[in-house]
């Protein structure tokens, strides 16, 4: 059994379980944690819970302590320094004419490691670039290729709903989103209406899809001819939430039929 708590690494990073080490933490607090080859910071986003060994992804790392004022000053300095690192990396990428776009730079809390996130159409041989950057910054360098959704998560922003992007706020992983989800919810198939800032279909299309799939069971399909109390007609739209369909019965007339 382990006493664990969920931590969101950095501002919009991965959400992981960490061992509390029997220390007490409250949701919203910032903490210093063990990470791969170094230490980093994150925010507590859950209450403490006790779980079985088999339910935890190994290795289970520990929370070192709560952050203090010095830690927050260090985090702010690292963020400012990261902008300088990014500018240098962009210049070196341009000099080497590498077909890649640097999206973000991240300093580990203890400044032992620098991670550069980039997008590219295909695989990039950046080994020489890594060696040059390591010589310049005197730190371990990691370059990570990411997709457009990861890019949106790193940069942040607000969706058409007016709220902060789901991928920034709470989503742990990206799940497949299909045009079928929009069709089942009777949404307009206009890319500008159903696409997020990343240019892909909005993640929220999947939130209620299962419910809509249940609601449309038993409803006729679009274009299907059905009998109504006013004669035969063709189904022109579905209203899953009302368990009804709109039917065109000729001469520009439409009626709603409930099921």
- For residue 167, pLDDT beyond 70: yes
- For residue 136, pLDDT beyond 70: yes
Give the alpha-carbon dihedral of 144, 150, 152, 155, to 10 degrees. -40
Retrieve residue 67's tokens: 């952050």
**Cis link prior to 59 (omega < 30° from 0)?**
yes
CATH number of 72-146: 3.30.300.20
What is the Cα–Cα distance from 127 to 136, expressed in whole angstroms? 14
For residue 247, which phi and psi values (nearest 5 degrees)? -125, 130
Percentage of residues in the chain with pLDDT exceeding 70? Answer: 98
What is the Cα–Cα distance from 119 to 151, expressed in whole angstroms? 8
Q: What is the mean pLDDT of the chain?
A: 88
Closest by alpha carbon to 120, among 150, 91, 140, 92? Answer: 150
Confidence of residue 142 (pLDDT cuts 50, 70, 90): very high
What is the Cα–Cα distance from 89 to 135, expressed in whole angstroms? 12
What pLDDT was estimated at residue 71? Answer: 93
- For residue 156, pLDDT beyond 80: yes
Average pLDDT over residues 184-189: 86
What pLDDT was estimated at residue 37? Answer: 62
5-63 pLDDT, tens per residue?
989 888 767 888 898 888 889 989 999 998 876 788 999 988 888 877 766 777 788 89
Chain region(s) in the chain for CATH 3.30.300.20: 72-146
What is the Cα–Cα distance from 140 to 35, expressed in whole angstroms? 14
What pLDDT was estimated at residue 13? Answer: 75
In 233-249, which positions are buried (b, 16+ CB within 10 angstroms) versus exposed (e)?
bebeebbbeeebbebee
Percentage of residues in the chain with pLDDT exceeding 90? Answer: 39
Q: Are 230 and 256 in contact (CB under 8 A)?
A: no
51-89 pLDDT, tens per residue?
777 667 777 888 999 999 999 999 999 999 988 999 999
């Amino acid at each position: 059994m382990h006493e664990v708590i969920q931590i969101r690494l950095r501002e919009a990073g991965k959400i992981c379980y960490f061992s509390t080490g029997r220390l007490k933490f409250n949701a919203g607090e910032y903490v210093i944690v063990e990470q791969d080859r170094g230490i980093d910071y994150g925010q507590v986003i859950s209450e403490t819970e006790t779980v079985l060994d088999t339910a935890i992804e190994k290795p289970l790392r520990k929370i070192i302590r709560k952050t203090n004022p010095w830690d927050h000053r260090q985090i702010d300095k690292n963020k400012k320094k990261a902008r300088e690192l990014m500018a240098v990396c962009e210049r070196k990428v341009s000099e080497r004419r590498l077909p890649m776009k640097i999206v973000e730079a991240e300093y580990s809390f203890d400044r032992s490691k620098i991670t550069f996130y980039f997008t590219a159409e295909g695989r990039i041989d950046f080994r020489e670039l890594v060696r040059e950057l390591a010589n310049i910054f005197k730190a371990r360098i990691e370059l990570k290729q990411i997709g457009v959704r990861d890019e949106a998560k790193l940069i942040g922003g607000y969706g058409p709903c007016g709220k902060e992007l789901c991928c920034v706020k709470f989503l742990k992983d990206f799940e497949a989103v299909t045009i079928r989800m929009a069709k089942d919810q009777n949404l307009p198939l206009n890319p500008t209406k159903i696409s997020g800032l990343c240019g892909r279909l909005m993640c929220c299309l999947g939130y209620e899809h299962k419910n809509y799939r249940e609601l449309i069971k038993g409803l006729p399909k679009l274009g299907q001819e059905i009998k109504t109390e006013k004669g035969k007609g063709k189904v022109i739209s579905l209203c899953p939430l009302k368990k009804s369909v709109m039917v065109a019965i000729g001469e520009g007339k439409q009626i709603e039929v409930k099921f």
